[in-house]
Copies of this chain bind each other. A is one copy, B any other.
Amino acid sequence: MTMSNTGGRRRPPTIHDVAREAGVSRGTVSRVLNGGHYVSPAAQEAVNAAIRKTGYVVNRHARSLITGRSDSVGFLLTEPQERFFEDPNFNVLLRGCTQALASHDIPLLLMLAGTKDERRRITRYITAGHVDGVLLVSSHSGDPVAEELREAGVPLVACGKPIGLGSKVSYVAADDRDGARDMVRHLLSVGRRRIGVVTGPLDTPGGVERLAGYKEVLAEAGIEIDDRLIVSGDYSRASGEAGAERLLAQAPDLDAVFVASDLMAQGVLTALGRTGRRVPQDVAVGGFDDSSAALAARPQLTTIRQPYDRISAEMVRVLLAQIGGEDPAAVILPTELVRREST
């Protein structure tokens, strides 16, 4: 009598064990697992009972081996690392994507491609088919990773419109220009006329579009664009502080600043405070993002809310659709003015 493996190390149950338990074949169990088409109610029930009894969980590796899909997606960050730390938006986005994917039972692989080496390694990993698609967070133009992935035909959804890439890549973005318009209109409505702006990097759509919205509204209001009222930052707190100092030097009479991110707006508040200017009495400050930085700031920031929960949900939806064979799509979501203490 040979020893069965009953007493040995517990081996996870396979589809075979389930089939035997349910008194059906592998094929029937597999069909139940994949939607239950062409399965009789009796078999369906028997299989489900057997799955519960055995504690069976599908072996994704075996499945992937034959289907060619990995049933996982990558969340790829090609920004330099500092932004990841500082920017609260990334957290929200990452969490939203993770949860949206989880509801489809799809794990998210976090990929950081800061250095050249990392980029090569990760590109290789992705193009080898180890993930079915990629959620890309990298707004800067000329991102070589994104371009390579697009060429390799990897399903891809960017957060924010990717400037450098051809139009054939999906993206989900908030309506930057419209948000900027709302904010500047709001600043006008509270009586401000000398409105400065700290833009984002001008090689990002957020940088370009928000500045465009600013200019449009001023033009509509018949206010001349004054170049001394326009400076650029890189979305970091420090660059906001530096930007505000340049603004104050070039145009000490300004009575409002529209800042292209909440984090930079924090820096602006610091710089204004240092010169003794009160916010909002002397200078109104409007941010952008409605990130946690907006609430952390003193005074709390009036800002433009980017619907990050919806953005992440849409990114996942579009990506899964694309993995399923649909064409790339662009989704633009509306923003919302959130009024707090700084205006």
Q: List the interface of chain A (C-beta within 8 A of B).
A: 12, 57, 59-62, 64-65, 70, 72, 75, 81, 84-86, 88, 90-92, 94-95, 98-99, 102, 105, 107-112, 118, 121, 124-125, 128-130, 237, 266, 270, 273, 292, 296, 298
Contact = CB atoms under 8 A, between A and B. Distances in A.
Contact of A59 (B65, B81, B108, B109): B65
Please name the 10 residue pairs, one residue from A and one from B, whose CB atoms are nearest each other, closest first. Answer: A57-B128, A61-B64, A61-B65, A61-B61, A107-B109, A110-B110, A108-B110, A98-B112, A85-B91, A62-B65
A83 to B, nearest CB: 11
B102 A237 contact: no
Given A102-B118, A107-B109, A109-B107, A81 B95 contact: yes
Contacts of A125: 57, 107
A273 B94 CA distance: 34
A61 to B, nearest CB: 4
A122 B292 CA distance: 28
Contacts of A64: 61
B108 A109 contact: yes
A106 to B, nearest CB: 10
Contacts of A90: 91
Given A105-B121, A109-B109, 7 more contacts: A61-B64, A84-B91, A91-B91, A94-B110, A102-B111, A107-B110, A107-B111
Q: How many copies does the complex hold?
A: 2
B296 A266 contact: yes
Contacts of A296: 237, 266, 296
Contacts of A88: 85
A12 B102 contact: no
Contact of A112 (B59, B61, B102, B112): B102
A124 B102 CA distance: 13
25 contacts: A12-B128, A57-B124, A60-B130, A61-B62, A61-B64, A62-B65, A65-B65, A72-B109, A75-B110, A81-B95, A85-B91, A85-B92, A91-B91, A94-B110, A95-B112, A98-B111, A99-B112, A102-B112, A102-B121, A107-B110, A108-B110, A110-B110, A237-B296, A270-B298, A296-B296
Contacts of A124: 57
A146 B148 CA distance: 40
A89 to B, nearest CB: 10
Contacts of A86: 292
Contacts of A102: 111-112, 118, 121
Nearest to A101: B110
A92 B237 CA distance: 18
A75 B110 CA distance: 10
A85 B95 contact: yes
A111 to B, nearest CB: 8
A298 B272 CA distance: 13
A202 B313 CA distance: 36
